[in-house]
């Protein structure tokens, strides 16, 4: 057995979508450390190339998940160039924080296009490649907002629970072809997406207090759970949602009753 054991990704090709920043960047670097051949894909081509330059042997390309034809073409190209795709991880997501009564049609379309349609495009394209090669693992990114919500998170939360159902359907349909499909559900993570919250001291502290660990996560802390799902350590795990939220969804408030 290799030094990495069940978590070894040597000889596997991993396409990391959203790999130009945040969680995707951390996962791309982490997958390479576990031996995977990494392809960094991002809507920001310069960012993808910058991350790939830090990973020996990595490739990079631009990919906008909203464009289904482009997703198909890029993943087909990765499979052609590398012989197969063993791992596809899709991290991109956006949020427009507004009350329901203030949401516009454009706001709605923008969030759904990236989070839900984009995830579907990736699941469909990766599933087509992997069912044909009869093997592979796909991870889409959901969120704690698939389970708990707050004012201003209606459409974002809707897309994140939709991703959970996409994952379950993908697992059911692709399972006979030895293709696993799972979802990661982070809590609050320090990334470009959450930078506006971090900039507000009171808001940042309020979110930190919601978790059992009383802090935000670093992007690097999403690497282990994500790579677990695509590794042989999770060979019998499919159709599930892995919460990496510091206990946010387990803790019902932070008040400690007197005498406790």
User: DSSP states of the chain as a string?
Assistant: --TTGGG--TT-EEEEETTTSHHHHHHHHHHHHTT-EEEEEESSHHHHHHHHTTSTT-EEEE--TT-HHHHHHHHHHHHHHHS---EEEE---------GGG--HHHHHHHHIIIIIHHHHHHHHHHHHHHHHT-EEEEEE--GGGT---TT-HHHHHHHHHHHHHHHHHHHHHGGGTEEEEEEEE-SEESGGGHHHHTSHHHHHHHHHHSTTSSPEEGGGGHHHHHHHHSGGGTT--S-EEEESTTTTT---S---TT-
Q: What is the pLDDT of residues 181-218, one digit of tens each?
A: 999 999 999 987 788 888 888 889 989 998 999 999 99
pLDDT bin (cut points 50, 70, 90) of residue 173 is: very high
HSE, side-chain direction, 13 A CA sphere, residue 75: 30
Sign of CA dihedral 162, 125, 113, 30: positive
pTM of this structure = 0.94
Angle at alpha carbon of residue 52, lines to 47 and 58, rounded to 5°: 150
Q: What is the mean pLDDT of residues 157-167?
A: 98
Distance (Å, rounded) from C-alpha 119 to C-alpha 140?
7
Residue 53 backbone dihedrals phi, psi, to 5 degrees: -65, -20
Residue 111 backbone dihedrals phi, psi, to 5 degrees: -70, -45
Q: Which domains does the chain have, with CATH numbers?
A: 5-244 (3.40.50.720)
As a residue count, the chain comes to 260
Q: Which residues are catalytic?
A: 156
- The 3-state secondary structure of 57-91 reads CCEEEECCCCCHHHHHHHHHHHHHHHCCCCEEEEC
pLDDT of residue 1: 40
Angle at alpha carbon of residue 9, lines to 7 and 13, rounded to 5°: 150
User: pLDDT above 70 covers what percent of the chain?
Assistant: 95
Contact 112, 155 (CB under 8 A): yes
Q: What is the pLDDT of residues 238-260, one digit of tens each?
A: 999 999 999 999 987 665 666 65
pLDDT of residue 257: 60
């Amino acid at each position: 057995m290799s030094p990495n054991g069940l978590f070894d990704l040597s000889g596997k090709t991993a396409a990391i979508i959203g790999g130009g920043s945040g969680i995707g960047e951390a996962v791309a670097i982490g997958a390479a450390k576990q031996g995977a051949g990494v392809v960094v894909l991002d809507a920001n081509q310069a960012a993808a190339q910058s991350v790939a330059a830090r990973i020996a042997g990595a490739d990079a390309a631009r990919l906008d998940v909203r464009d289904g034809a482009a997703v198909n073409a890029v993943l087909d190209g990765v499979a052609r160039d590398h012989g197969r795709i063993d791992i596809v991880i899709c991290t991109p997501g956006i949020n427009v924080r507004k009350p329901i009564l203030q949401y516009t049609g454009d706001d709605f379309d923008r969030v759904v296009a990236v989070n839900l349609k984009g995830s579907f495009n990736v699941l469909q394209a990766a599933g087509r490649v992997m069912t044909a090669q009869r093997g592979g693992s796909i991870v889409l990114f959901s969120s704690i907002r698939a389970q708990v919500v707050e004012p201003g998170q209606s459409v974002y939360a809707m897309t994140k629970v939709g991703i959970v159902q996409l994952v379950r359907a993908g697992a059911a349909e692709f399972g006979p072809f030895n293709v696993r499909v799972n979802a990661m559900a982070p809590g609050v993570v320090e990334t470009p997406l959450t930078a506006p919250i971090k900039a507000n001291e009171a808001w940042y502290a309020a979110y930190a207090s919601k978790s059992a660990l009383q802090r935000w996560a670093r992007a690097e802390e999403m690497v282990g759970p994500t790579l677990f799902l695509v590794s042989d350590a999770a060979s019998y795990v499919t159709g599930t949602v892995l919460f990496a939220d510091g206990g946010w969804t387990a803790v019902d408030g932070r008040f400690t009753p007197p005498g406790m």
